Amino acid sequence: MTIEKFEKRGSFLCLDGKGRSSAQKHSNKKLCFVSTDKEFLTNLLYELAQDENCYFVKLSENSKEGMSLGRCFFLNDEDAGACWARFKAHPKVHCNIQDDDFTQPFRAQVKHYG
């Protein structure tokens, strides 16, 4: 398992991608993965971080009802879209794209449960 390669930052385990540099911005379209198999998701995120166009990946430290959340940020929208297409129909993960520019105005409306 590759979990030891991740660094704890807040409630996430994080790993810089090969494409990360201080001078370069990343796409605001982030890939969101959900899986009930945390080991599979951890290994998937580690693999994605090895891509030259991957900026950053993170994994929720704690699962919710057995579901683990992973996120992946690429340097550009095209790579994010191609990765989404690659995993959209995968049997072990649910994958979608979140546009932070779109969701930002709604953040204050997020309902917190429990």
pTM of the model: 0.89
Residue 113 is assigned to a structural domain of this protein: no
CA 106/CA 59 separation, integer angstroms: 23
- Domain-embedded: residue 91: yes
Number of domains in the chain: 1
CA distance 13 to 102: 25
Q: Is residue 6 part of a domain?
A: no
Domain that holds residue 77: 12-18+26-104
What CATH number is attached to the domain comprising 59?
A: 3.30.70.260
β-bridge mates for residue 54, sequence order:
74
User: 27-65 pLDDT, tens per residue?
Assistant: 999 999 999 999 999 999 999 999 999 999 999 999 999
